[in-house]
Amino acid sequence: MKWIFSACFLFLSVTQRSVFGVRPLSRAKDIISLEIEPVKYEPSKTFLEEGVTKKITCKGSHEFQKLEWYDPSGNLVKKEPSNRVYVQERIGTFLKRRSPTLDLVFTHVLLKDSGVWECRAGNMIQEVPLCVMVPSEFVETQNEIAIDAGRSITLSCQATGDPEPKIEWYRDGQLIVGDDEKLYTSTKYNHHGFEGLLTIKSLTPEDGGQYICKATQEYPELDTCSHSVMTDITLNVNYQPNFERKLETTYVFAQYNKSVQLVCAPKAYPAPKFRWFRDNGAILTEYSDKEFKVSDDGSQSTLILIANSSSFDKKFRCHAQNIYGEDAQQFQLLELQKPARLNEINIVNATDDTIIFNVTWHDEDDYFPVEGFQILYLEKTTTGQPRDRAWNHAEKLSFELTDKDIFEMENLLIPLSGLEEETEYWVKLRAVNDLGVSPWSAPVLASTLSREELDNLEEDDFPIEDAFLSNVPVFGQSVGVFVGILLTCIIVIAGAICIFFVKRL
């Protein structure tokens, strides 16, 4: 009888282990779990290179768990060391108890091994993705090209690898779509695989620069299985030197007896050769180095001299030449002076909180740089102009120019923002540079409009572009933000009070 009972118990135990993988637990302290050690790749990589050896370990927590490995196709991996892929069983410990460990061993991984592998113990399953690639390498790719302006060119980029890489082109961090008449992308097939092409027509100097070819490998079934490599291709467009001048003569301001630099930096390729001349035609290299110093770094030339009575109002010419042509730039050294008093202030436009002024100087013989303006303004309260002492209590605002070169005075616009709706103001302005400030201008009277007037105006009545209004001083913007926050707080408080009284009722 005992023999029959033992045989039945053994049969039930074997059946339970085969079907369920674990025995029934009788103690709460027993823990059943399944864990796979993550696949470790080389630093900066998210894949295994085809041909390497790899082992992935799956651990159970209970000695009666039966562990099994299945490939991405759902096939059981067998314990046959003669196979390229096999499993190897070991016994480890978990919380001082014996626990099973099953290693998945690859003698050398292949591309077809990419996918999701599973370790199973009864109805428990743990997955681990495996990524295998032959990483991309660029072949027969020319990394620097020079071509004459006006011509067309096709840049070529090819990368080998498995999976087949996809080629993309970038410039200045932006993907080149390349679907217009000027620039387009295409591919062709040769003995290395698919070759990426970027065609640029009618080259201009602006087309020169660095282009990036990016080769990307992906497995659609695995989001984490991808690899990208990039290479730079420098396109040099050959063209003659060209100075982007705003005026025929570039004015350089300097303080007396201070060193000053005249920088000659044309756009050109290849780099030009430079020569400096005085206004009388003399080549400066024939003079003593004590008077000046010329420094060339290939792309530009700098004339360094001391500003004094012998150099003020004198002209210097930089001549740049390469095999495609030549160009010249003329400099005139002027003594730095404080800005003169503004001769005229006109009102260009107005809104409900902003007035735009145009300022000019009439004396064309005076040259001075202007870096910004200071503005005083008072709300009109009397019939006449404010007394001098009233300006001591005026609001003050600074406006900095973005372009600090010599400018055409009649095109200079100055905004005054943060004003009250439909209100008249007295306004004074003065110019600022490194040497000081100009005297205050004569007061002018200006007024903002009402919102009703603005609603009745046509769009053409607003000559101020949005790009200009974006440069309005922060003072006006901060007032608007403050008012908006204040109104929002009032609305929230009023709503809370209403809800309180409703609940009381």
Tens of pLDDT, residue by residue over 283-328, are: 876 655 667 888 888 889 999 999 998 889 999 999 999 999 999 9
Asked if residue 270 has a cis previous peptide bond (ω within 30° of 0), the answer is yes
Q: Residue 400: which of 376, 433, 423 has the closest Cα?
A: 433
Tell me the range of 25-34, 320-329, 466-475 where mean pLDDT is highest.
320-329
Q: What is residue 330's predicted lDDT score, i.e. its pLDDT?
A: 94
Asked if residue 113 has pLDDT above 70, the reply is yes
Q: What is residue 224's predicted lDDT score, i.e. its pLDDT?
A: 83
Asked if residue 27 has pLDDT above 70, the reply is no
Q: What is the pLDDT of residues 127-139, one digit of tens each?
A: 999 999 999 999 9
Q: What is residue 494's predicted lDDT score, i.e. its pLDDT?
A: 59
Q: Residue 111: which of 89, 135, 88 has the closest Cα?
A: 135
Asked if residue 505 has pLDDT above 70, the reply is no
Q: What is residue 12's predicted lDDT score, i.e. its pLDDT?
A: 45
By the 8 A CB rule, do 153 and 236 touch? no
Strand order in the sheet with 273-278: 249-254, 325-335, 315-322, 273-278
Which H helix or E strand runs over 474?
helix 474-504
- Tokens 């299985």 label which residue? 225
Which H helix or E strand runs over 468?
helix 466-469
Q: What is residue 296's predicted lDDT score, i.e. its pLDDT?
A: 87
Show the CA angle centred on residue 164, arms to residues 160 and 168, nearest 5°.
Answer: 85
Q: Residue 397: which of 294, 476, 306, 485 has the closest Cα?
A: 476
Rounded to two decimals, the pTM is 0.64
* Mean pLDDT (whole number) for 404-430: 81
Rounded CA separation 141/193 (Å): 13
Asked if residue 92 has pLDDT above 70, the reply is no
Asked if residue 357 has pLDDT above 80, the reply is yes
Q: What is the pLDDT of residues 141-187, one digit of tens each?
A: 899 999 999 999 999 999 999 999 999 999 999 999 877 788 999 98
Q: What is the pLDDT of residues 222-255, one digit of tens each?
A: 888 899 999 999 999 999 999 987 678 888 999 9
Q: What is residue 325's predicted lDDT score, i.e. its pLDDT?
A: 95
- Tokens 């302290």 label which residue? 29
Asked if residue 377 has pLDDT above 90, the reply is yes
Least confident of 92-101, 111-120, 342-351: 92-101
Mean pLDDT computed over every residue of the chain: 82
Asked if residue 200 has pLDDT above 60, the reply is yes
Asked if residue 14 has pLDDT above 50, the reply is no
Residue 378 forms beta bridges with which residues? 426
By the 8 A CB rule, do 163 and 112 touch? no
Asked if residue 486 has pLDDT above 60, the reply is no
Q: Given pLDDT bands bounded at 50, 70 and 90, which one contains residue 405?
A: low
Which H helix or E strand runs over 358?
strand 355-360
Q: Where are the beta strands (DSSP E) in 52-192?
A: 54-60, 68-70, 85-94, 97-106, 115-121, 124-130, 132-138, 144-148, 153-162, 166-171, 174-175, 183-190
Q: What is the pLDDT of residues 96-106, one digit of tens each?
A: 567 889 999 99
Q: What is the pLDDT of residues 201-215, one digit of tens each?
A: 999 999 999 999 999
